[in-house]
Structure 1
Amino acid sequence: MQDMLVRLLDLPDVSEEENKLFEKEGVVFKKPITPEKSIVVDWVGEHFSKNWADEALAAFASLPVNCFIAQREQEILGFACFESTAKNFFGPTGVLPHERGKGLGKILLIKSLRALKEMGYNYAVIGGVGPTSYYEKVVSAKIIEKSERGIYKNLLKHSK
């Protein structure tokens, strides 16, 4: 897995896509608040991994929280964290398999990158990317050469 670099100065506008998802499917995008911490962290651990749940937990150490979620009523559909594992890093992020392809991940990504821009960054790192083509297409991210041995090198993983 490689890290990618993304320029934050000219991110696409997703407000129209966000409005359509709300009107069509009742999807709300927001930063969760402290009383939702255990719900979000448990959800990430259940649907993705305990390592990602740890990163989501770290996102709650900042106020406002360094995370966005997509929800429909009481159901979480996806999440995206930023600056939870390292300064100026985007990730982890994920959307439930049956909700993919609707644009939720793109909106979560852009909202998170905009938040990093608001924190004063002009560029951000997308850490440990598997399929790079998505980020190349959506935000013109570029692979950082020799980044395979980044911050996730020697990462301890939970046994199943």
Structure 2
Amino acid sequence: MQDMLVRLLDLPDCSQDERHLLESENIIIKRPIAPEKSIITNWVASNFSANWGDEVDVAFASLPVNCFVAQREQSILGFACFESTSKNFFGPTGVLASERGKKIGKILLIKSLNALKELGYAYAIIGGVGPVAYYEKVIKAKVIEESEKSIYQHLLKHPK
């Protein structure tokens, strides 16, 4: 998997999509707070991977937290982190399969990238990308050539 680069100065506006999500699905996108750390970390580890759960744990070391979550009432539907693996990196991110197609991931992505922009970055890195075409379409990200050997290349995996 390769890394991608995204220009933060040209991000699309997601406010209308976010408003529609709230009105039609009762889904809010927010930055979690410290008392939610174990709930979100455990949810990510259970629904995606223990490694991603570890990255969420690191996101909670910053205030405000370097993470956004999508929730409907007391249910978590998706998450997105930034600056949890490396400075100026977006990810990990994930949305429950049952909730995909509602633009939850797009909103989480854009809000996270805007947070990186607010930190002073003009560009950001999306590390170890799976859905290259999605990022190209939604935020005009570009593959970084020869980035197959990234910070993830020697990543230890949790035993099953």
Per the TM superposition, whether the score is higher than 0.5 is yes
Q: Which structure 2 segments of 5+ residues have no match? A: none
The residue that corresponds to 2:10 in the other structure is: 10
Structure 1: gaps (5+ residues): none
Whole-angstrom CA distance in 2 between matches of 1:138 and 1:19: 18
Which residue of the partner structure matches residue 108 of structure 1?
A: 108
Alignment match, 2:46: 46
Q: Secondary structure at the match of 2:10?
A: coil
- Whole-Å separation in 1 of the counterparts to 2:61 and 2:97: 28
How far apart are 1:130 and its partner, in Å? 1.3
Q: Distance in 1 between matches of 2:155 and 2:37?
A: 24
Q: Which structure 2 residues correspond to residues 97-136 of structure 1 after superposition, within 5 A?
A: 97-136=97-136
Q: Does 1:159 align with 2:145?
A: no
The two structures have a TM-score, normalised by structure 2, of 0.99
Distance in 1 between the 2:155 and 2:6 partners? 24
CA distance in 2, matches of 1:39, 1:24: 26
Aligned residues: 160
> What are the superposed Cα offsets for residues 112-136 of structure 1, whole Å, 9 maximum, x if unpaired?
0000000000000000001200000
Aligned to 1:34: 34
AA matched with 2:140: S
Superposed CA deviations along residues 89-124 of structure 1, whole A, max 9, x for unmatched, are 000000000000110000000000000000000000
For 2:9, the aligned partner's letter is L
Q: Distance in 1 between matches of 2:106 and 2:72?
A: 17
Query: What is the CA deviation profile of residues 41-82 of structure 1, one whole-angstrom value per residue up to 9, with x for unaligned ones?
Result: 000000000000000000000000000000000000000000
How large is the RMSD of aligned CA atoms in angstroms? 0.4
- Give the SS at the match of 1:9: helix
- Percent identity over the alignment is 71
Paired with 1:34 and 1:68, the residues of 2 have a C-alpha distance of 13
Counterpart in the other structure of 1:91: 91
| Deviation beyond 6 Å, 4+ runs, structure 1 | none
The amino acid that maps onto 1:132 is V
The corresponding residue for 1:72 is: 72
Letter in 2 for 1:73: E
